Structure 1
Amino acid sequence: MKYREPFTVFSRKLKSAKRVWYYQTYDQKGHRTSALSTGQLTKSAARAICRTLEKEGNQVGPYDIF
């Protein structure tokens, strides 16, 4: 079985041509939750924030996943 991270990270392009990275988590049924901005401009920084939130046990989305 393929390993899946507890979050997905993707970028959106702003009108100013900057790319901001967003993340989504999964709810109890395995469906993705609404996207939330990390405020980061690089993918590695965005993933680091998600991992930090996971380790701290903070709520990352509308559901307490971690």
Structure 2
Amino acid sequence: METFEIKKELHSIIDSGNDKFVKNFYKIAKSYLRQLENDKRIFEGEEDIKEGKVHSQAEVQKMIESWMK
């Protein structure tokens, strides 16, 4: 099944679903998208570590203090 067909069928399923189904489907979709974003951030962080793009605890503390000014 092509992506376009899947999207069309999902729209049909959502349109015919009751409130509880739609709300639960929404929660699942949002949770999945949040997890994708978290996975991306973890990957980027791991890449930064590999490349030596890190800060010491003292540097981080100074950054935080500068935000408070």
Which of these two proteins has the greater Rg computed from alpha carbons?
2
The structure carrying a bigger helix percent of its residues is 2
Do both proteins adopt the same fold according to a TM-score greater than 0.5, normalized to the shorter chain?
no
The structure carrying a bigger strand percent of its residues is 1
Q: Greater relative contact order: 1 or 2 (C-alpha under 8 angstroms, separation 6 or more)? A: 1
